[in-house]
Amino acid sequence: MFVKTKAFSYLRTSGKGQVGNDGFPRQRETIRRYCKANRLEIVEEFSDEAVSGTTDGLDRAGLTDLFVALRANGVRTVVVENATRLARDLMVSEIILAEFRKEGVKVFSADGGIDLTLGNDDPTGKLIRQILGAVAEWEKCALVQKLRASRVRIRRAGGRCEGRKPYGQTEAEQQTLGTIRSLRREGKSYAKIAAQLNHAGIPARDGGKWHPTQITRILSRTAAKPQT
């Protein structure tokens, strides 16, 4: 008996008229047939309704939730009906696929059986990937130089370089920290704590979603401190 590989599916409709028609049903059926033929098991579905294919993935609730789920468990396969369900704009598509590659996730197009994360020989796609890579490298180098210059200025002024202050500096962070500790004492996993905070609408320090690694880091840094 063959063991099925667990996977997530992602669906998107670009107009409100598609939501109630055959948009989602058609996509689900295409994905279902592909998974049956390739021994894949969809364990969770993520979707965005009436979202343009030119919209940045970071502005999509469904796609954002998909990335959160991928970082919280071992699923490393995503199935979409076709490449346009991720994005119609090539630049947006390459940015989204680059994020999947960073997570070590393969994205398959159900209507063609293509691994979209492998890229292709299209000259425009290649150029965009090269540009994105060059920009990322430049940003990394620029950040390192800025931090180094800042440290030098502080040392010359006789000051002290401090890292980012630990979580729990503000009253709001203290309340959230208390909630995290309470949930941990109840035996909740880091992933479940992150999911519960996100469900409750409690933002992380950067205003984004909570991830299990953040919970782990916060608890490890505050473990030796007295709880208030």
Distance CA 65, CA 2 (A): 30
pLDDT in tens, the chain (228 residues): 568 999 999 999 986 554 455 689 999 999 999 999 999 999 999 999 888 766 666 678 899 999 999 998 889 999 999 988 988 777 788 888 888 998 999 999 999 888 888 865 566 555 655 665 565 566 667 777 777 777 777 777 765 555 567 788 888 888 999 999 999 899 989 899 999 999 998 988 877 889 888 898 888 876 644 444
Q: What are phi and psi of 7, to 5 degrees?
A: -150, 160
CB burial class (10 A; 0-12, 13-18, 19+) of residue 71? middle
Tokens standing for 163? 């890292």
Distance CA 134, CA 146 (A): 18
Beta bridge partners of 5: 40
pTM: 0.54
Distance CA 43, CA 78 (A): 10
Distance CA 188, CA 44 (A): 21
Distance CA 59, CA 122 (A): 27
Distance CA 157, CA 153 (A): 6
